[in-house]
């Protein structure tokens, strides 16, 4: 069984307060983009563990044989969110069988596009459907939140206004299909912890929920990402990307999440004259 975990962008991002549990309350609009990974799961009918050359992990009563291709998956395999999703369900569904899992990465990692969170959420959904676990959407949302603050969004995967840690979601009417998105990732890794440490939380004068219903022509002045100023001071290349997008005719441009990806929203038929270093990841969505 094959699924295609997609990415997301943040349309505005306000950090409102620091919580007693160490997390932050925020508000943002999550908007899905069709830049996708590929995730395949099949039942493992082999009679024992084999060396896949990438990774294989005992999952209690079962076994996960995991492999990956495409963009390099960084970090220890033990931290892979797809495997964590399997282990999470295995605790409550011990009959979950041994599987082979392959992930082809096309969404840049650590870029603010939510690729890892999407992979985790799609793993939960795929396992639920393939093995007929009977988990309802509300319960899937609870499992997803255990894997990460952005994961629940990819269970819904529709434009939504998000608050709390990002898990409290309200569906909104927002159709940007008549525009195109130009995505630029300069390959800069920004620590989420560092980014939050630069923020002084405050309640905005105007909610993103209100701003997002206005014409896009007003977003440049009002729709802000609270992480941008600190990130730009540390990494001026982010500012240069944003300036180039506006110079090429973007109606709105912003960093997504805590960075370092920047996106520009253009008219559908636009052919922006953009030239970025070959080391940058660029994509039109």
Contact 66, 80 (CB under 8 A): yes
Query: How is 125-148 classified by DSSP, letter by letter?
Result: HHHHHHTT----HHHHHHHHHHH-
Q: Are the beta carbons of 119 and 82 closer than 8 angstroms?
A: yes
Question: At residue 103, what are phi and psi to the nearest 5 degrees?
Answer: -120, 120
Catalytic residue among 37, 119, 150, 226: 150
The question of whether 220 is a catalytic residue gets the answer no
* Beta carbons within 8 Å of 10's beta carbon, 6+ residues apart: 28, 29, 30, 31, 112, 225, 254, 256, 257
Instruction: Find out whether the peptide bond into 233 is cis, omega within 30 degrees of 0.
Output: no
93, 169, 224, 252 from 206: Cα distances, Å:
45, 18, 11, 18
Quote the strand ranges of the chain, DSSP E: 2-3, 6-18, 24-36, 38-43, 55-59, 62-70, 99-105, 160-163, 168-171, 179-185, 252-255, 262-267, 281-284
Catalytic (active site) residue 150: yes
Catalytic residue among 8, 36, 90, 105: 8
Going by their DSSP bridges, the two strands 99-105 and 62-70 should be labelled as: parallel
Q: Which residues are catalytic, by number? A: 8, 150
């Amino acid at each position: 069984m094959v699924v295609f975990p997609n990415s997301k962008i943040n349309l505005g991002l306000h950090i409102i307060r620091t919580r007693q549990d160490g997390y932050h309350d925020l508000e943002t609009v999550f908007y899905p983009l069709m830049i996708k990974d590929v995730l395949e799961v099949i039942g493992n009918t082999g009679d024992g563990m084999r060396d896949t050359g990438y990774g294989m992990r005992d999952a209690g009563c079962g076994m996960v044989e995991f492999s990956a291709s495409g963009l390099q998956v960084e970090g220890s395999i033990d931290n892979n969110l797809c495997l964590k999703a399997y282990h999470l369900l295995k605790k409550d569904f011990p009959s979950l069988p041994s599987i082979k899992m392959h992930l082809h990465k096309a969404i840049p990692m650590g870029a603010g596009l939510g690729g890892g969170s999407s992979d985790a959420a799609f793993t939960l959904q795929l396992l639920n459907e393939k093995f007929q676990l009977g988990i309802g959407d509300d319960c899937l949302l609870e499992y997803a939140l255990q894997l990460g603050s952005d994961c629940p969004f990819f269970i819904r995967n529709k434009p939504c206004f998000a608050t709390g840690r990002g898990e409290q979601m309200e569906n909104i009417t927002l159709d940007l299909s008549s525009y195109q998105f130009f995505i630029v990732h300069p390959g800069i890794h920004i620590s989420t912890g560092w980014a939050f440490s630069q923020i002084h939380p405050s309640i905005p004068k105007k909610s993103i929920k209100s701003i997002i219903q206005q014409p896009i022509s007003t977003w440049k002045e009002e729709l802000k990402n609270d992480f941008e100023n600190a990130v730009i001071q540390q990494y001026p290349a982010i500012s240069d990307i944003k300036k180039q997008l506006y110079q090429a005719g973007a109606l709105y441009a912003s960093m997504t999440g805590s960075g370092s990806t920047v996106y520009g929203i253009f008219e559908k038929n636009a052919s922006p004259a953009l030239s970025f270093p070959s080391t940058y990841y660029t994509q039109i969505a």
